[in-house]
């Protein structure tokens, strides 16, 4: 048994362990069973096993915990001091530095806070100073995101910036112990009072935004005297309410690192997009050809996978190179990498690529932007894929629709509002 595997981490075991603090994995309270890992409660009669024990159905994706076992945990010790260096060669803008300084101040005061920074503002780079300060104090640090794609993109950037090992935890990856951890928010269910600094990136993203157990896990994974920082380009109504009540400190950065405004989406009328009528297909082909002739990549978002498959089949006769990607695609990482590297210039996507990924010089077309799957936040994030690079700080964002939705109107309104801020 390696003790370090229990530092700040909840480990479920059926057998007892000497010299390690433990607690029952489930507690029975009247007719309820309460999980000590995810905090959710369930009626006993719904989760009774043949053995007479109970299990938790809510965090089953992380492995089953039952009343037959215990959760073991050891307090997180400090690491050695001053072991890290920031090898990133870039330079923050004046506005970015102000945000970075605020993050340092919040952490010094052990004060939770939210950074509301537009897409492409450079949130990752603004995190570097506070991460470095925490690491060199011997503190354990984690950056968590609801999306695996975001974690996969962040790992090489963090390792290059700090010239050190960044532990990546997601899915079925084996656990490794380290001072700097990058993980999905689901992985936080395995931690308890582990991190003196915990940063939640894309705090408004699914599934974190809608699952109380993940929000509970984030609170518990942070040490009582630790700091919890949130990053987002599209804060939820609940977060805005906390800000208005002064329950949560906030720092707003309405400008991208290159100083250019956000690209405002164009609303494009298209009757029959749902049925993929001849006229709708003709319009889509015309739009694709516009950017294809210019040699620029085009990312097309679709409201559902079945529709995307139908559209791909229809377009392949005109654009044989077109490919499609979605969350369950086993070749997702390879397809995304090919699009990023310019091997392929035409990609259909579900909402899986709405946030956390960067494609240089890309233009975006949302097919059926008025479909209910596209929330205001999703549309703002999707529009934010465009104009992120210094070489091409502008571009095209088109919302194809057959009737304006409130989400479309609100998304464009918020983008224009942010562009007016200094």
DSSP3 helix / strand / coil % (the chain, rounded to 5) = 35, 25, 45
Domain check: are 103 and 211 in the same one?
A: yes
Question: Where is the domain boundary, 42, 73, 104?
Answer: 73
Would you say residue 258 has pLDDT above 70? yes
Domain check: are 207 and 274 in the same one?
A: no
Domain check: are 278 and 409 in the same one?
A: yes
Give the pLDDT confidence score for residue 14 in this predicted structure. 83
pLDDT in tens, 279-301: 999 999 999 999 888 999 999 99
- Please report whether residue 239 resides in a domain: yes
Would you say residue 366 has pLDDT above 90? yes
Mean confidence (pLDDT) of the chain: 95
Domains: count for the chain: 3
Instruction: Name the pairing type of β-strands 141-145 and 113-117.
Output: unpaired
Give the pLDDT confidence score for residue 19 in this predicted structure. 81
Give the pLDDT confidence score for residue 214 in this predicted structure. 98
Reply yes or no: is the peptide bond before residue 404 cis, omega within 30 of 0: no
Place of tokens 């112990």: 177
* Torsion angles phi and psi, residue 386, rounded to 5: -100, 140
- Partnered with residue 117 across adjacent β-strands are 253
Domain check: are 33 and 159 in the same one?
A: no
Determine the angle formed by the axes of helices 148-162 and 123-136, rounding to 10 degrees.
60
Domain check: are 312 and 370 in the same one?
A: yes
Residue 31: give the domain boundaries: 3-73
- Please report whether residue 31 resides in a domain: yes
Would you say residue 267 has pLDDT above 70? yes
- Please report whether residue 84 resides in a domain: no
- Please report whether residue 17 resides in a domain: yes
pLDDT in tens, 178-199: 999 999 999 999 999 999 999 9
Banded pLDDT at 273 (limits 50, 70, 90)? very high
Domain check: are 114 and 249 in the same one?
A: yes
Q: Is 246 helix (H, G, I), strand (E, B) or coil?
A: coil
Domain check: are 109 and 222 in the same one?
A: yes
Give the pLDDT confidence score for residue 405 in this predicted structure. 98
Q: Is 131 helix (H, G, I), strand (E, B) or coil?
A: helix
Domain check: are 272 and 410 in the same one?
A: yes
Nearest CA to 356 out of 335, 333, 384, 375 is that of 384
Q: Count CB atoms within 10 A of the CB of residue 24.
A: 14
Q: Domain containing 247 — which CATH number? A: 3.40.50.300
Check: CB of residue 380 under 8 Å from CB of residue 234.
Answer: yes
CA distance 244 to 286: 46
Give the pLDDT confidence score for residue 1 in this predicted structure. 56
CA distance 285 to 297: 14
């Amino acid at each position: 048994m390696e003790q370090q595997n229990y530092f700040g981490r909840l480990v479920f075991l059926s057998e007892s362990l000497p010299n390690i603090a433990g607690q029952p994995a489930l507690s029975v309270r009247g007719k309820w069973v309460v999980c000590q890992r995810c905090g959710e409660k369930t009626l006993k009669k719904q989760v009774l096993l043949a053995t007479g024990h109970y299990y938790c159905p809510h965090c089953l994706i992380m492995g089953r915990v039952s009343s037959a076992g215990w959760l073991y945990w050891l307090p997180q010790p400090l690491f050695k001091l001053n072991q890290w260096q920031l090898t990133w060669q870039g330079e923050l803008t004046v506005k970015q530095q102000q945000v970075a300084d605020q993050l340092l101040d919040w952490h010094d005061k052990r004060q939770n806070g939210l950074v509301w920074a537009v897409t492409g503002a450079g949130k990752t780079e603004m995190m570097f100073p506070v991460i470095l300060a925490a690491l060199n104090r011997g503190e354990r640090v984690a950056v968590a995101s609801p999306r695996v794609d975001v974690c996969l993109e962040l790992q090489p950037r963090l390792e290059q910036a700090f010239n050190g090992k960044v532990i990546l935890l997601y899915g079925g990856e084996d656990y490794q112990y380290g001072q700097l951890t990058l993980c999905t928010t689901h992985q936080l269910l395995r931690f308890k009072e582990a991190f003196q600094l915990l940063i939640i990136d894309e705090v408004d993203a699914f599934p974190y935004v809608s699952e109380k157990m993940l929000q509970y896990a984030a609170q518990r994974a942070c040490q009582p005297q630790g700091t919890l920082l949130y990053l987002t380009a599209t804060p939820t109504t609940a977060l805005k309410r906390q800000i208005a009540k002064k329950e949560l400190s906030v720092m707003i950065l309405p400008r991208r690192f290159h100083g250019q405004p956000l690209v405002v989406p164009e609303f494009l009328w298209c009757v029959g997009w749902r049925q993929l009528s001849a006229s709708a297909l003709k319009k889509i082909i015309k739009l694709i050809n516009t950017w294809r002739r210019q040699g620029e990549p085009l990312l097309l978002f679709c409201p559902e996978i079945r529709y995307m498959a139908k559209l791909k089949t229809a377009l392949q006769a005109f654009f044989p190179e077109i490919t499609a990607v979605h969350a369950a695609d086993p070749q997702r990482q390879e397809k995304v990498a090919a699009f990023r590297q310019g091997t392929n210039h035409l990609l259909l996507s579900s909402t899986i690529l709405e946030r956390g990924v960067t494609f240089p010089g890309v233009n975006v077309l949302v097919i059926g932007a008025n479909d209910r799957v596209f929330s205001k936040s999703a549309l703002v994030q999707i529009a934010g894929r465009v104009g992120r690079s210094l070489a091409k700080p502008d571009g095209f964002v088109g919302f194809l629709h057959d009737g304006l939705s409130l989400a479309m109107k609100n998304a464009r309104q918020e983008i224009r509002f942010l562009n007016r801020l200094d």
